[in-house]
Amino acid sequence: MFATAIIVFREVLEAALIIGIIAAATHDIPGSRRWLLAGLLAGLLGAGIVAAFTDVIGSFASGIGQELFNAIVLGIAVLMLAWHNIWMSSHGAELAASARATGGDIRDGRSECSALLLIVGLAVLREGSETVLFLYGIAASDSGRSSMLSGGLVGMTLGIAVGYAIYAGLLRVPLRWFFTATSVLVLLLAAGMASQAARFLIQADLLPSLASPLWDTSMSLPENGVAGMLLHSLVGYDSRPAGMQLVFYIVALLAIGAGMKWVRHPRQSNHSSKGAV
């Protein structure tokens, strides 16, 4: 039962952290709750479908279909997180002011909400499909079914609890630090996902590893420990990364960071004229 709980916890944790951070970051956007829920349901449905077609997906492109699929899902998620962060850095202040005063009528709010839906949906899809396969395997076997299923339930509850904790914790961050805190977290999530995408492409032999491993911290900070697990989900920690993963990580950080800076600067010069109108 304990082993089952750990496995399910690991899978749920990553999705739960992403959802917790995104839910907090979009807290002030009108209607974001509905989009988040829609993303969650679509993700669960998608997870079931992906699980059912594991074999079909896996046999694409001479056996590297699963890696391609994961890398594409991660790639889209990185783009959506980047879009979210860049959008937030241009609308964030405006949003906090207007949403609290008038209920808010934000231009582009709808496209931000579809990004939100995709981010949540893809996170659930990716982590959920493995959980579905795992739990299905347990349900199909005869031995110790009930104790393992209850283990699964414990793991899932714990994962969701951690996700909720980060959500509740972020909402307690004072407003002047709030956007910085959430955008740094989203930035690191995106970079971590870019690194994971690189790992799948290396596994499929579509990218060179450059150096494998670049470092080995599996003794001091193992990935199957609690700290390693959390760091893996939050900032993309890898105890034995390939060099290419670090390249992807840094490029994602720099590109998204530059995008955020770029949209913030023209706005500052516009701000006074807009305020006058």
Partner 1 sequence: MKKICFVALLLPQLVFAVDADYTMTIKDHCFQPAELTVPAGKKIKLLIENQDATAEEFDSFSLNREKVIAGHGSATLYIGPLNAGRYPFMGEFNAATAQGVIVAQ
CB of 55 to partner 1, least distance (A): 4
Interface positions, 97-136, toward partner 1 (CB under 8 A): 130, 133-134, 136
Considering only the stretches 14-22, 178-186, 221-229, 261-269, report the one whose residues sit in contact with partner 1 under the rule CB under 8 A: 221-229
Nearer to partner 1 (CB atom), residue 108 or residue 205: 205
Distances (CA, A) of 11 to 85, 131, 167: 25, 7, 18
Distance separating alpha carbons of residues 40 and 222, to the nearest angstrom? 30
Among 55, 107, 146, 268, binds partner 1 (CB under 8 A): 55
Dihedral over Cα of 213, 216, 218, 222: its sign:
negative
Tokens coding 126: 């990716």
Tokens coding 194: 């870019």
Residues with Cβ within 8 Å of residue 234, at least 6 apart in sequence: 17, 185, 188, 189, 192
Interface positions, 175-194, toward partner 1 (CB under 8 A): none
Nearest CA to 271 among 24, 41, 90, 56?
A: 90
225 near partner 1, rule: CB under 8 A: no
156 near partner 1, rule: CB under 8 A: no
68 near partner 1, rule: CB under 8 A: no
217 near partner 1, rule: CB under 8 A: no
Point out which residues bind partner 1 (CB under 8 A). Answer: 3, 7, 51, 54-55, 58-59, 61-64, 66-67, 130, 133-134, 136-137, 140-141, 199, 202-205, 212-213, 218, 222-224, 238-242
